Amino acid sequence: NAGVTQTPKFQVLKTGQSMTLQCAQDMNHEYMSWYRQDPGMGLRLIHYSVGAGITDQGEVPNGYNVSRSTTEDFPLRLLSAAPSQTSVYFCASSYSGKSNEKLFFGSGTQLSVL
Amino acid sequence: ILNVEQSPQSLHVQEGDSTNFTCSFPSSNFYALHWYRWETAKSPEALFVMTLNGDEKKKGRISATLNTKEGYSYLYIKGSQPEDSATYLCAFNSGGSNYKLTFGKGTLLTVNP
């Protein structure tokens, strides 16, 4: 049971480049989400999904797109990378997204935008 | 934006010491309080999810209490070990779904052998 798998672990981009961070889970979780972790701040929600075909914006969605074509996968796309998007990104999932369910996190992606 | 405060920001203890830290959150619209342990270079891992005022949870040497009326939760570690060194995150849920989670900045615990 792999849990939540995130790739890549590290990435360096130039300003204006685009890329996709991959997230997959094998626990049949309906709820999936993306967070960013910046120094001195708590984890902030970028986008989330409560099931295949359903996505919505979190606290800091600008500059990012998501899609959920399958239950397992929830990729995060950076459309035109900016230095302000330098951060550590975490994918997290839970069974149905209810407030009493713990989140399962991926191992994180450290992204630097030059 | 909801305010979830964790204190202290960091602390250093000696192996064998017991320690505790605090998570403060709004006392209204409470649905759940999560605690996560985040070791360097690893994923945050859930310790507890607490939903009822007065809840107490325990996992080995780690325990947590919850007071929703006054808006705080304590995390206790008894007999700290070097492997307890990590950042401990709390997250307050103000709605019925996990997209309503607001995370604190964490408490960084270092246990010296």
Q: Which residue of A has its CA nearest to B104?
A: A42
Per-residue pLDDT at B36: 98
Q: Please tell me which of the candidates B32, B43, B104 has its beta carbon nearest to residue A105.
A: B43
Report chain B residues whose CB lies below 8 A from the CB of A102.
34, 46, 49
From B78's Cα to the closest Cα of chain A, the distance in A is 23
Instruction: Judge: A58–B99 Cβ closer than 8 Å, yes or no.
Output: yes
Arithmetic mean of pLDDT, B81-105: 94
Tens-place pLDDT, residues A29-70: 999 999 999 998 999 999 999 999 999 999 999 999 999 999
Mean confidence (pLDDT) of chain A? 96
Average pLDDT over residues A85-113: 96
Question: With an 8 Å Cβ cutoff, are A103 and B51 in contact?
Answer: no
pLDDT of residue A2: 80
Residue bearing the bigger pLDDT, B83 or B95:
B83
- What pLDDT is attached to residue A1? 65
Confidence class for position B1, pLDDT limits 50, 70, 90: low
Q: Tell me the pLDDT band of A3, cut-offs 50, 70 and 90.
A: very high
Residues B2-8: contacts with CB under 8 Å, at least 24 apart: B2/B26, B2/B92, B2/B94, B2/B102, B4/A42, B4/B90, B4/B91, B4/B92, B4/B102, B4/B103, B4/B104, B5/B104, B6/B88, B6/B89, B6/B90, B6/B104, B6/B105, B6/B106, B6/B107, B7/B107, B8/B107
